[in-house]
Amino acid sequence: MSVALGLKRPLVVRTVPVSDPGDLIARLPGVAPHAWVRHGDGLVGWGEAASVRVPAGLSGPARFAWARAWLASIFRTAEIDDPVGLPGSGPVAFGSFTFDPASAAGSTLVVPRTVLARRDGRSWLTTIGEDALDLMTPVRTPGRIRYSDGALTAMEWEHAVATAVKEIGGGRLDKVVLARDLIATADRGIDPRALLARLARRYPECYTFSVGGLVGATPELLVRHTGRAIESLVLAGTAPTGSDPGDLFGSEKNQYEHVCAVASVRDALDPLCATLDVPDRPELLVLPNVQHLATRVTGRLSDGASVLDVVAALHPTAAVGGTPTATALEVIRELEDMDRGGYAGPVGWIDARGDGEWGIALRCAAVEGDRARLFAGCGIMGESDPVQELAEAQAKFRVMRYALEG
Ligand SMILES: C=C(O[C@@H]1C=C(C(=O)O)C=C[C@H]1O)C(=O)O
């Protein structure tokens, strides 16, 4: 837990309106960027006014409660001058939480020293402490990339999928999301800014993010919180882009997989909400690599719960865990043979009002030095074909392979 050296507590925070900064990602001066950008809008941050690692011993929703209490202690005492007054103005923290509720090790929150943001045609700059001179270092592409298997080879993973199908057939559970990792090694140190730029250009519909070394472009919004209004985009059920959407809508397997994911979100949000709207039928979300069944859930909170309180209630949804949740988590631990880290965990930002946007960290990689660990997973049902699921995982890997290779 730390407040950056050279910064006084309480933090002195100043937000000023600025003219349109253009491409937010191109404004990131250094190689440890924080970013959350979609269709050009969003927040980018750099430097550290304060940061914390959530204690490894905390599990489940307690991780989020602890993080929220830490943030409250930082924000409560801050001297804030914020004439903009929009979600994301004033001080913000970027965060990434581990997928596995049993271990918080690696979950982190960072309050950047500088945040540049744009929302609906308005832009602002937030700085904490004295003005710092941020020298722009040139963005370097990673060069040649070599790939090697992560925890499981493709064949071993297919075998894991087949085992999951048997467990489902035997009645142990209804759905489980199985993932695998792939190791990429680059010629030189990987600059996340190079990846962010490519991701934002090719996947404008997704949330391009970078928090604590986790870099990706996720289509799945866990929750957006604006005052008391909340919104979530539930995805489950996937087909390659270009295939007939009628097949996806007509597939019982994909429909049921989607129903499981929507039910988990509805059950988590219902107790928190005064009103909740869950459409009866999914729509189609088409991305350059895959298309998904998608349900947009909207609601109004019944009290002043913050976005992190909502994240705590939602995670892990059946889009990345399974049904029932506890059994799915057991099966994931048994069959994946790896630690997901922040993959499939919540990633996003929160401001001092409790507003924020959090996604599920999908289509991403954990980047460290010249290595990136890529992740991709698929919802497994009783009728799943291991060969098809492997092909779906490969299609999902394409997002980060493109980010690395261009
Ligand atoms: C698990 C991932 O994606 C999730 C699984 C999906 C599916 O199985 O159809 C679809 C969207 C996501 O909720 C991933 O991209 O790694």
Amino acid type, 283: E
Question: Is the distance from the beta carbon of residue 238 to the nearest atom of ligand 1 less than 6 Å?
Answer: yes
Residue having the nearest C-alpha atom to atom 2 of ligand 1 = 377
Residues 300/275, Cβ–Cβ less than 8 Å: yes
- For ligand 1, the distance from its centroid to the CA atom of residue 377, given in whole angstroms, is 6
Question: Is the distance from the beta carbon of residue 359 to the nearest atom of ligand 1 less than 6 Å?
Answer: no
404: confidence class by pLDDT, cuts 50, 70, 90: very high
The reported pLDDT for the residue numbered 242 is: 96
- 281's tokens: 């039928």
Q: Indicate whether 19 pLDDT > 60.
A: yes
The reported pLDDT for the residue numbered 4 is: 67
Q: What is the pLDDT of residues 363-398, one digit of tens each?
A: 999 999 999 999 999 999 999 999 999 999 999 999
Choose among 231, 216, 268, 214: nearest CA to 95.
Answer: 214
The reported pLDDT for the residue numbered 96 is: 98
Give residue 48's Cα distance to chain centre: 20
Element (H, E) at 224: strand 221-226
The reported pLDDT for the residue numbered 1 is: 58
**Full DSSP string of 177-202:** EEEEEEEEEESS---HHHHHHHHHHH
Domain of residue 43: give its range: 2-405
The reported pLDDT for the residue numbered 161 is: 98
175 noted as active-site residue: yes
CA dist 253 and 177 (Å) reads 14
Residue having the nearest C-alpha atom to atom 10 of ligand 1 = 236
Between 28-32, 79-83, 143-147, 385-389, the lowest mean confidence (pLDDT) is in 28-32
CATH of the domain at 207: 3.60.120.10
220 noted as active-site residue: yes
CA dist 311 and 13 (Å) reads 26
Question: Is the distance from the beta carbon of residue 332 to the nearest atom of ligand 1 less than 6 Å?
Answer: no
Question: Is the distance from the beta carbon of residue 362 to the nearest atom of ligand 1 less than 6 Å?
Answer: yes
Q: Please report the atom of ligand 1 found closest to the CA of residue 254.
A: 9
CA dist 277 and 279 (Å) reads 6
Before 61, cis peptide (omega within 30)? no
| 3 state DSSP class of 244 | coil
What is the pLDDT averaged over residues 223-230?
98
Q: Indicate whether 294 pLDDT > 70.
A: yes
Q: Indicate whether 222 pLDDT > 80.
A: yes
Please tell me which residue in 48, 220, 257, 389 is annotated as part of the active site.
220
Q: What is the pLDDT of residues 30-73, one digit of tens each?
A: 878 999 999 999 999 999 999 999 998 898 999 999 999 999 99
What is the pLDDT averaged over residues 235-244?
97
* Portion of the chain with pLDDT greater than 70, in percent: 98
Element (H, E) at 400: helix 386-405
What is the pLDDT averaged over residues 167-196?
98
Q: Indicate whether 5 pLDDT > 70.
A: no
Question: Is the distance from the beta carbon of residue 237 to the nearest atom of ligand 1 less than 6 Å?
Answer: yes
Number of domains in the chain: 1
CA dist 265 and 234 (Å) reads 8
Question: Is the distance from the beta carbon of residue 265 to the nearest atom of ligand 1 less than 6 Å?
Answer: no
Pocket-testing residue among 262, 292, 332, 389, ligand 1, by greatest number of atoms within 8 A of Cβ: 292
Q: What is the pLDDT of residues 206-218, one digit of tens each?
A: 999 999 999 999 9
What is the pLDDT averaged over residues 339-363?
98
The reported pLDDT for the residue numbered 264 is: 97
Q: Indicate whether 169 pLDDT > 80.
A: yes
Q: Please report the atom of ligand 1 found closest to the CA of residue 258.
A: 9
Number of other residues whose CB lies within 10 A of the CB of residue 170: 9
Pocket-testing residue among 174, 181, 220, ligand 1, by greatest number of atoms within 8 A of Cβ: 220
Q: What is the pLDDT of residues 104-132, one digit of tens each?
A: 789 999 999 999 999 999 999 999 998 77
